[in-house]
Amino acid sequence: MGRRLEAVAGLTVDPSPGSNQPVGASGGPLLMGVVNVTPDSFSDGGRFLDPDAAAEHGARLAADGAAILDIGGESTRPGAQPVTAEEEIERAVPVVERLAGATPARLSIDTMKLDVARAALAAGAGVVNDVSAFRGDPEMAGLVASSAADCCLMHMRGEPRTMQEDPRYDDVVSEVASFLEERMRFALAEGVPEERIWLDPGIGFGKTVEHNLALLRRLGEIVAIGRPVVIGASRKSFLGAVTEREVHDRLPGTIAANVMALERGAAIFRVHDVAEVRDALRVTAATVGRPPWTTPDS
């Protein structure tokens, strides 16, 4: 578990809808397009509450080059209020149903709740993106293990409602790495195969601006754990603090953060602006010697 994967930044996903093939190590960096089906997400809350509109948005992101579509029915922005599993299912699962088989992109469900993940997997999702890293509902690990889904385990201090209340660390990078290693051990003990685990340092989740910058600067220490690293810096508030830009004017900062993350070994990039970030990473990959870009139809 502590070994460095030689090609961890070069990933491909089986493009067939509903595929249960794990991420491999033979292609290029992957884009995960954000499909928020929420009224209160920090960037696009309320824009895609209608399932048809959300599915159309997801299809556009896939056409722009997203190999994965991350569909979420509950906002995890700072201060966000929780919703019931029933409401989350009502928002997200119809979108999964519409996209399953309609796009070559792999479908991911962004949830901390067991019932939501179960319903989404049954509807055609193949990835569980759990920002609580299986702490919100420990039985999630068993569901992932039995379903042959991939999973993303993310670091978060506290919960969305409280995570930005004076977050402090002695060494944020070391503490995040230790947390991710511990959660990976838990997942393995529950039967999740190592090759199906991705790790996310949780940019913006219980971190100050300096914490986020340190994680990007020393991302190689997270990559050294040996699993594909997911970066979710898109439009985040730390970019606004650095650039003095409002949320919809943060694309240049988003591109810069993802380019640096790719150079340091990140493998999967969760973004709102797929086409623009795709081009930036494609140039970066060609320049720094990463494997050639791989899209679902290549």
Tens-place pLDDT, residues 149-191:
999 999 998 766 666 677 789 999 999 999 999 999 999 999 9
Give me the percent of the chain exceeding a pLDDT of 90: 73
Q: CA-to-CA distance for 36 and 110, rounded, in angstroms?
A: 9
207 catalytically annotated: no
47 catalytically annotated: no
Note whether 60 and 71 are within 8 A (CB): no
Domain 30-288 belongs to what architecture?
Answer: Alpha-Beta Barrel (3.20)
Single out the catalytic residue among 236, 250, 264, 290: 236
Place of tokens 């919960």: 159
Tens-place pLDDT, residues 79-102:
667 899 999 999 999 999 999 989
Q: Is 71 helix (H, G, I), strand (E, B) or coil?
A: strand
Q: CA-to-CA distance for 168 and 197, rounded, in angstroms?
A: 27
Q: CA-to-CA distance for 50 and 147, rounded, in angstroms?
A: 28
- Selected residue with higher pLDDT from 101 and 275: 275
Q: What does the pLDDT read at residue 13? A: 39
Single out the catalytic residue among 157, 183, 264, 270: 270
**Whole-structure pTM value:** 0.86
> Between β-strands 230-231 and 106-110, what pairing exists: parallel, antiparallel or unpaired?
unpaired
Question: How do the domains of the chain map onto residue ranges?
Answer: 30-288
Tokens standing for residue 238: 């730390």
The residues, any chain, with a CB within 8 Å of residue 81's CB and separated by 6 or more, are 40, 161
